Chains A and B, each alone.
Chain A
């Protein structure tokens, strides 16, 4: 029951975040000066997610940190060039496996 409640409360708060401006307050609640800069949300949040993941210790028995950083950099270059997520994913995983194989 405790676990159930924890997820219910967590879910309600998450919903409030998601619905905040889209459904509850509306776009008019956003000041014009801020609205202009909302296009920087995606690059900033996604970069923070990537870097904090790369900084973490990888799971035991999986590819190491150096291989991951190399693969991430090459995948970044690939997606910048091709603009394709599937190609980027394939390239990134192949580079990761190669780098990990070379590291051993």
Chain B
């Protein structure tokens, strides 16, 4: 568990301004009160979906539409869950079920790069430790933003830190040429799908990127098989 905390903690620095900003948007919202706002940080625990939900509620959207939008924005976790499942398959089910709630983008990013030799028990504790720490911090930050209000001037542009973080995680997650294809196609597709309803653009773009990488991978390994060269265009990645 402590290993999870140790590796996830550095990724949470850019989350600080994001969590505070969420608290501020709840504090200034005419519809979302402090208690419901804190409830969202415990229950939904996903910043971008929470921000969009607060905004929608302020504009008078109904609960089903808000819930649906939260589901769609957070549906990327389905892909994270599939990617992590083989690594934790041997761990007790209750531990996998409990850990799931705290599996965020950042936790996934680090756990995804864990070597499978680590064993299921290690991987699931890693997710649980890193995730629980993130959940605690996220709630402290939400409360902090609620109480302190606009403490950080917008002109310092700290909202950009979270974008940088995702960019860095993207670079670190690339282990071969098909990974580059996934990033380039997924990123380019996001420009085209940006207008899709309920925040579904991200999900569609991500699927297109994975599909393109899968296609590239299939063609590349077919060519390799024909040439009969030594296998794999992969280079070993650093494991946390």
A binding-site residues for B, Cβ under 8 Å: 2-11, 13-15, 17-28, 30, 34-55, 58-63, 68, 71-72, 75-76, 79-80, 83, 85-86, 88-89, 92-93, 96-97, 100
B122, CB-defined interface residue at 8 Å? no
Q: Which of B26-52 contact A (CB under 8 A)?
A: 31-33, 35-36, 39-40, 42-46, 49
Residue of chain A at shortest CB distance from B69: A10
| Minimum Cβ distance to chain B for residue A69 (Å) | 10
| Minimum Cβ distance to chain A for residue B110 (Å) | 10
Residue of chain B at shortest CB distance from A15: B101
Q: Which of B191-213 contact A (CB under 8 A)?
A: 191, 194, 201-202, 205-210, 213
Number of B residues near A (Cβ < 8 Å) is 101
Q: Is the CB of B183 within 8 A of A43?
A: yes
Q: Is the CB of B79 within 8 A of A18?
A: no
Query: If A7-B53, A43-B182, A79-B167 touch, does A13 touch B71 (CB 8 Å cutoff)?
Result: yes
| Minimum Cβ distance to chain B for residue A19 (Å) | 4
| Minimum Cβ distance to chain B for residue A89 (Å) | 6
| Minimum Cβ distance to chain A for residue B235 (Å) | 13
Contact of B44 among A10, A52, A80 (CB under 8 A): A10
Q: Is the CB of B163 within 8 A of A54?
A: yes
25 A-B interface contacts by CB (under 8 A) = A7-B43, A10-B44, A11-B42, A17-B75, A20-B82, A22-B81, A30-B85, A40-B179, A41-B112, A42-B169, A43-B173, A45-B80, A47-B182, A53-B162, A59-B154, A62-B154, A72-B167, A75-B164, A76-B168, A79-B168, A83-B238, A85-B165, A89-B14, A92-B164, A93-B158
B binding-site residues for A, Cβ under 8 Å: 10-11, 13-14, 31-33, 35-36, 39-40, 42-46, 49, 53, 57, 63-64, 66-67, 69-71, 74-86, 88-89, 93, 96-97, 99-101, 103, 105, 108-109, 112, 154-175, 178-191, 194, 201-202, 205-210, 213-214, 217, 238
Q: Is the CB of B164 within 8 A of A93?
A: yes
Q: Is the CB of B53 within 8 A of A10?
A: yes
Q: Is the CB of B66 within 8 A of A41?
A: no
Kindly state the separation between the CA atoms of A36 and B161 in the bound complex, as whole angstroms.
32
Residue of chain B at shortest CB distance from A14: B74
Contact of A23 among B100, B109, B205 (CB under 8 A): B100
Contact of B63 among A9, A25, A58, A79 (CB under 8 A): A9
